[in-house]
């Protein structure tokens, strides 16, 4: 193939030069064109004679693959239409035991989520791609592991990410649960206060109903009495109330001025120091201080005389509002109690993931250790394993044949309700340390923390090579 028929789009430093190369591609003067996704992606119309697209590397995003393919797999490809049944060869290059496997798995997960999102088929509000991406990246040890064909470190990173997500979810659950408990405490306190309020309002209402007097038209008689005034003239008492409103100053204290149906009538002077303004507020004094029109008397004398009756008339409405509040609290408290007593449902899953992480870390360390041994040393180690017998019982727990075989193969097993040398029960992951001839324990619930149980001199109940536990 002549040299001039192979071009690189990066050679084009101007828009005009770039367009000229694309035209030459469509005319057949350029037969092979190399370029990056950004330079040969969206907006490039070089499809007229395109017969194949070669992906020399693997992108991070599914859309990049679509854009690359779209340069040839599109309307206007005359060669494909006339000679290839409207088909274009798409060739993707990848290397075994390299980052390509990881990146294609990442592309698969991303494309799956995008497709589900477009079709409305997602079953949850979040998606976990299962590993790292181009934002978080990987460290050098993980690169080395992938390139060597050992994917244990990637599995470890995946499990660590799952553990992190679960721990974050548990933290949110715990925070919300504590907030619910506080809300429950407030609701219980408010319920007690509301019930006491209703009791006191009911007592005042009963007192008022027992003392009320009615006229011939079945209207409540205004039996207001002002201290120091002996008169039945409502107009005269209205003038006295106006005088009290204008001239009294109680200096912030409640001062009695009369009574109505056995309830004291009081006035209080409220002063605004900043505005240098003061006003008198009037109340009916019962178990609570009842007011009307925010405590202010009406300017009209006749209406001002009805002020205290109107204040007492609010008691039934206050009782109804309190009953509604009590009903709402009584409905909400059981719900809050149920929420505050729930347990996080994924605790066992978190324990399993921590245990899985512990096993992966040990597997990785064993692989590293194996690489440090010579073939002769590994052969001797395998010979020791084959000769060593596994006990039938460990720390009071009887082993099954499968558990014995797993220990013999160097695998971990989980044992529950074992007894330590001090007689305390414990559960842990157990494995054989073939170099020391001992059983190694690690508590599965505690990440990165291992506990080696003190060895005793008691031999296991079997014959053959001694394995101390």
Residue at 201 is within a domain:
yes
Q: Do 256 and 347 share a structural domain?
A: no
User: Quick one: 233 and 276 in the same domain?
Assistant: yes
Q: Which of the residue ranges 284-288, 347-351, 383-387, 432-436 would you say has the lowest mean pLDDT?
A: 383-387
Confidence of residue 200 (pLDDT cuts 50, 70, 90): very high
Same domain, 229 and 199: no
Looking at the structure, tell me whether residues 34 and 182 fall in a common domain.
no
Q: Which is more confidently placed, 134 or 415?
A: 415
- Last residue of one domain, picked from the residues 274, 305, 336: 305
Q: Across residues 59-82, what is the average pLDDT? A: 84
Q: Given pLDDT bands bounded at 50, 70 and 90, which one contains residue 148?
A: low
Q: In this model, does residue 290 exceed pLDDT 90?
A: yes
Q: Are residues 206 and 234 in the same domain?
A: no
Residue 89 lies in a domain: yes
**Residue 331 and residue 199 in one domain:** yes
Does some domain include residue 409? yes
Residue-level pLDDT at 236: 79
Q: Is residue 108 part of a domain?
A: no
Residue 408 has pLDDT above 60, yes or no: yes
Q: What pLDDT does residue 452 have?
A: 33
**Full residue range of the structural domain in which residue 270 is found:** 223-305
**Whether pLDDT at 282 is above 90:** yes
pLDDT higher at 433 or 432: 432
Does 231 share its domain with 296?
yes
What CATH number does the domain containing 24 carry? 3.40.50.300
Please report the pLDDT score of residue 97 as a whole number: 64
State percent of the chain over pLDDT 70: 78
Of the candidate ranges 19-23, 145-149, 161-165, the one whose mean pLDDT is the lowest: 145-149
371 has pLDDT over 50: yes
pLDDT of residue 379: 58
Same domain, 37 and 168: no
Q: Could you tell me whether strands 6-8 and 32-34 are parallel, antiparallel, or unpaired per DSSP bridges?
A: parallel
Write the CB contacts of 265 (distance below 8 Å, at least 6 apart in sequence).
Answer: 224, 226, 256, 257, 258, 259, 282, 283, 284, 285, 308
Boundary (domain end) residue, out of 55, 78, 93: 93
Has residue 135 got a pLDDT over 50? no
Of 276, 305, 334, which closes a domain? 305
pLDDT confidence tier of residue 143, bands split at 50, 70 and 90:
very low
Per-residue model confidence (pLDDT) at position 377: 52
Residues 356 and 392 grouped into a single domain: no
Return the pLDDT at 116.
67
**378 and 454 assigned to the same domain:** yes
**Residues 454, 385 share a domain:** yes
Radius of gyration of the chain (CA): 43
Q: Average pLDDT in the 366-395 region?
A: 63
Whether residue 304 is predicted with pLDDT greater than 60 in this model: the reply is: yes
Stretch 93-118: mean pLDDT, rounded? 72
| 385 pLDDT tier (thresholds 50, 70, 90) | low
Q: Does the pLDDT value for residue 134 go beyond 50?
A: no
Residue 85: the pLDDT is: 87
pLDDT grade for 368, boundaries at 50, 70 and 90: low
Domain assignment of residue 388, yes or no: yes
* Domain presence at residue 113: no
Residue 354 domain-assigned?
yes
**What pLDDT band is residue 222 in, cutting at 50, 70 and 90?**
confident
294 vs 132, higher pLDDT? 294
Stretch among 15-19, 60-64, 294-298, 430-434 having the lowest mean pLDDT: 430-434
Same domain, 449 and 379: yes
Residue 101 placed within a domain: no
Q: What pLDDT is attached to residue 322? A: 96
- How many structural domains does the chain have? 4
pLDDT digits (tens, 9 = 90+) for 315-361: 999 999 999 999 999 999 999 999 999 999 999 999 999 998 888 88
């Amino acid at each position: 193939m002549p040299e001039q028929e192979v071009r690189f789009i990066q050679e084009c430093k101007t828009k005009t030069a770039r367009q000229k190369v694309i035209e030459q591609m469509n005319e057949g003067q350029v037969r092979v064109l190399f370029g990056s996704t950004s330079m040969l992606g969206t907006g490039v119309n070089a499809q007229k004679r395109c017969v194949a697209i070669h992906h020399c590397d693997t992108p991070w995003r599914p859309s990049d693959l679509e854009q690359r393919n779209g340069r040839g797999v599109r309307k206007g490809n005359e060669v494909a239409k006339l000679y290839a049944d409207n088909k274009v060869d798409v060739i993707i290059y990848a290397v075994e035991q390299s980052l390509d496997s990881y990146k294609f798995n990442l592309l698969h997960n991303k494309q799956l989520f995008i497709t589900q999102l477009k079709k409305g088929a997602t079953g949850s509000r979040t998606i976990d791609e299962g590993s790292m991406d181009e934002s978080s990246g990987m460290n050098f040890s993980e690169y080395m592991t992938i390139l060597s064909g050992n994917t244990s470190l990637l599995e470890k990173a995946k499990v660590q990410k799952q553990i992190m997500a679960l721990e974050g979810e548990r933290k949110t659950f715990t925070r919300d649960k504590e907030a619910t408990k506080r809300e429950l405490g407030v609701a219980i306190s408010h319920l007690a206060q509301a019930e006491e309020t209703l009791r006191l309002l009911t007592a005042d209402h009963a007192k008022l109903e027992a003392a009320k007097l009615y006229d011939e038209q079945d209207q409540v008689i205004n039996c207001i009495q002002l201290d120091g005034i002996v008169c039945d003239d409502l107009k005269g008492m209205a003038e006295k109330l106006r005088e009290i409103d204008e001239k009294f100053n109680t200096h912030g204290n409640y001062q009695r001025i009369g009574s109505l149906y056995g309830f004291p009538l009081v006035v209080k002077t409220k002063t605004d120091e900043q505005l240098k303004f003061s006003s008198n507020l009037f109340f009916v004094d019962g178990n609570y201080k009842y007011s009307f029109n925010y405590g202010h008397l009406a300017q009209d004398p006749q209406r001002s005389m009805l002020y205290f009756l109107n204040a007492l008339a609010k008691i039934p409405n206050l009782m109804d509002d309190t009953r509604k509040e009590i009903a709402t609290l009584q409905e909400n408290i059981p719900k809050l109690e149920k929420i505050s007593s729930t347990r996080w449902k994924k605790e066992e899953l978190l324990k399993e993931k921590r245990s899985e992480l512990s096993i992966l870390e040990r597997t990785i360390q064993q692989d590293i250790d194996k690489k440090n041994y010579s073939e002769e040393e590994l052969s001797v180690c395998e010979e020791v394993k084959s000769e060593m017998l596994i006990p039938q019982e460990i720390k009071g727990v009887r082993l099954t044949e499968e558990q014995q075989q797993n220990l013999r193969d160097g695998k971990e097993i989980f044992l529950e309700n074992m007894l330590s040398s001090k007689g305390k029960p414990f559960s842990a992951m157990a494995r054989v340390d073939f170099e020391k001839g001992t059983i190694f324990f690690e508590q599965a619930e505690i990440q990165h923390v291992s506990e080696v149980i003190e060895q005793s001199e008691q031999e296991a109940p079997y014959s053959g090579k001694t394995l101390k536990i």
